[in-house]
Amino acid sequence: MQPFSKDATDEPRGPVDASVVPRFAGIATFARLPRLDEVERADIAIVGIPFDSGVSYRPGARFGPAHVREASRLLRPYNPAQDVFPFDAQQVADAGDIAANPFDIAAAVAEIEAGARQLSEHADRLVAIGGDHTIALPLLRVAHAQHGPVAVLHFDAHLDTWDTYFGAPMTHGTPFRRASEEGLIDLTASMHVGIRGPLYSKDDLEDDARLGFAIVTSEFVEEHGVAAAVERIRARVGDAPLYISIDIDVLDPAHAPGTGTPEAGGLTSRELLRMLRALADLRIIGADVVEVAPAYDHAQLTAVAASHIVYELLSAMSPGVTHPDRQSPNLT
């Protein structure tokens, strides 16, 4: 994908200069980037989706986008881990929020889908900040409309392929079952990473495999390491168009306490960031980072982790990334 340019001489517009305006001042767009309406069109639009009516336990992720944007004030223009200036290599802009009905999940899903489709007319790729994981379903519908069935790389403590909760078919625990049933995902290239904790039944795993997902558990990462996990991911995804969906609860609660359904024994933030860096040469066509619930956060631990996750995704989606991790899953 070619970097954004209005004409041959224009350069992407980057963040506000922190040496001119202090980081704690000004409007909290993501990483202090320009708004989408200030640049007309972008390679990547960052969009908040403040919706959490699909949660099954602790609510509050509707406040996640603002919380992550606030923490992202600390991000800087150069990413040495991937040897890239992600905001110079491409035009990245903050598209604000997609408003969704907080009382009607079906209506909200339709509104999110419509909003994402409209945004896609002004940006080549979307990175969404949730909100609960329900938002992945409408985003995958939009991705499918553009690319056909996509590989879904899903970082999460939970499978999110359950059927219903209290008879509701669209919740934060069901988006990838619905996506599989609707033919949105590549059944040969999709994978969960970081799965752990108790399940309702062994049948959950059988259903999950039938729906098209392989699994790298948190225990696998602990036993075999990040390099082995990356090797499995890359072998599974191949060259398929890739949508990355990251539930912040894939991280251990020590690293991300501010989430609705925490599970002990998760990834460290360092492990997750390292995995994302190793995927930069894959065909990443979109992403989301969800389930940040600021009411349960402490000292912005969760928001800082989420903002860096988005930053690494933007870096991995940049043209011209040259870090060796981009070329090989061998990270040792």
Residue 225 contacts by C-beta under 8 Å, 6 or more apart in sequence?
A: none
Average pLDDT, the chain: 93
Q: pLDDT exceeding 70 applies to what percent of the chain?
A: 94
The DSSP annotation for 241-277 comes to -EEEEEEGGGB-TTT---SSS--SS-B-HHHHHHHHH
Q: Is the pLDDT of residue 2 over 70?
A: no
Nearest one of 275, 257, 266 to 326, comparing CA atoms: 275
pTM: 0.93
Note the pLDDT tens digit of each residue in 36-46. 999 989 999 99
* Residue 18: per-residue pLDDT: 83
Note the pLDDT tens digit of each residue in 67-92. 999 999 999 999 999 999 999 999 99
Q: Is the pLDDT of residue 127 over 50?
A: yes
Note the pLDDT tens digit of each residue in 269-318. 999 999 999 999 999 999 999 999 999 999 999 999 999 999 999 999 99
pLDDT band, very low/low/confident/very high, at 11 (cuts 50, 70, 90): confident
Tokens of 123: 């940006």
Q: Is the pLDDT of residue 329 over 80?
A: no
Nearest one of 249, 245, 282 to 55, comparing CA atoms: 249
* Residue 320: per-residue pLDDT: 75
pLDDT band, very low/low/confident/very high, at 321 (cuts 50, 70, 90): confident
